[in-house]
Structure 1
């Protein structure tokens, strides 16, 4: 690998890692809420209360997964 190629690869990797750091907080935030939702519906909080009449919740079973 030439010096020019090495510099381009380093610059590309630095850009990639800078972009990844910019999403770190948002990803952690979303994963936190996902974990909280799964834990509340499972072992910690028991199943969620049924929705009020006229309101429907969709889950993985409803999506045909």
Structure 2
């Protein structure tokens, strides 16, 4: 049985999706980790953030 999280209205959220969003945010942080951050790192981090935002928006729209 898959682990599920719940909205306040009692509707279940798939834990796999939340884990994917967490992974995208973690990758964005990893891209900016370190003392010497270059433009390519910022571009990579923006890509991960956009992906996580799209995934979160899809999740929210699906529950409404």
Using the size of structure 1 for normalisation, the TM-score is 0.35
**Bigger share in strand:** 2
Which is bigger in relative contact order (C-alpha 8 A, separation at least 6)? 2
**Bigger share in helix:** 2
Using the size of structure 2 for normalisation, the TM-score is 0.35
